[in-house]
Amino acid sequence: MADSTFTVFDVYKILPQTNCGKCMLPSCLAFAAGVVAGSKKLTDCPDLDREHLAAFDAAYRSSGPKEITQAQFIDKLQLKMTSLDLEAVAPLIGATVKDDKIIIPSLGKDFVLDRQGKMTSECHIISWVHAPLLSYVTHETHADITGQWISFREIKGGIEWQQLFTSRCEETLRRLADRNPDLLTDLIALFMGATIEWYQADIALVLHPLPKIPILICYQAPEGDLKSKLTIFFDACCSTNLHIKSLFTLCSGMVQMFAKIAEHHG
């Protein structure tokens, strides 16, 4: 039966599965995740069998690859904002309401969404935070912080996104920390983070990209023949408070911002 949505594995099944890298991603699974996220098109795979592509199009009732772009995703979420009870939602997500606008703190700065879902901020507007912010506010379920840390793959849908998350978030941040030994310490001061002592790592810091989306970054510096290691954990409430796609977008955007900070402040 035809469906209007598809998953990472729906896309992966029709790919050559050779991990050739011609799409500029490390694997076919990463490419499939990119298609679902809207950053890649099926036609970006030069070796994709045209018959498989045609069958996929027919199954998902599209004249071309069925993808929801970031702009379409934001439009959908902005529509949900118009009917949201801001006063009821705000205390559930750690936000406040003023002048019929909801104010959400992110990494020590306030971001404001109006009734139409338009975003303003007291600081320079960060484009990548818009979609996760809307998704967080309009999400159907809300949970309090538990203090229990879990890996990305333990979050609902995380296994499908794990490889992309590892390459775009954990590995990218690990290399940044290797090249800039003071970077992670600087992030604590810049973004109101906090260190924890109980985790066995050279540095373990907690950041709040959204009020009820705490993340724990654990970094072990290289020593001798052992290369460095960096792992990102999430409070168990994250699985309830944000969709996996938005959680990935939030983390990858945050790492990109850290890279710019390292570049400009060395």
Position 61 scores a pLDDT of 47
User: Distance of CA 188 to CAs 191, 207, 262, Å?
Assistant: 6, 8, 14
Position 63 scores a pLDDT of 40
Report if residue 2 sits inside a domain. no
| Residue keyed to tokens 């983070």 | 193
Position 137 scores a pLDDT of 97
Where does a domain end: 67, 87, 104?
67
Position 185 scores a pLDDT of 92
By DSSP bridging, strand 203-210 and strand 194-195 are antiparallel
**DSSP conformational letter for 228:** P
- Is residue 60 domain-shared with residue 78, that is, in the same domain? no
Position 75 scores a pLDDT of 87
Position 50 scores a pLDDT of 78
**DSSP conformational letter for 189:** H
- Is residue 76 domain-shared with residue 175, that is, in the same domain? no
Position 51 scores a pLDDT of 80
Contact 176, 70 (CB under 8 A): no
Q: For residue 5, give every residue at least 6 positions away whose Cβ sits within 8 Å of its Cβ, in sequence order, or none.
A: 60, 66
Position 125 scores a pLDDT of 61
Average pLDDT, the chain: 88
Position 176 scores a pLDDT of 94
Position 3 scores a pLDDT of 38
The list of the chain residues with pLDDT below 70 reads 1-5, 59-69, 124-125, 265-266
Number of domains in the chain: 3
Contact 109, 207 (CB under 8 A): no
Identify the CA nearest to 131 among candidates 8, 247, 34, 238: 247
List the domain range (segments joined by +) for residue 132.
71-138
Report if residue 3 sits inside a domain. no
- Is residue 105 domain-shared with residue 45, that is, in the same domain? no
- Is residue 110 domain-shared with residue 130, that is, in the same domain? yes
| Residue keyed to tokens 């902005």 | 78
Helices (H), 3-69: 8-14, 28-37, 50-59
Identify the CA nearest to 219 among candidates 177, 187, 248, 250: 177
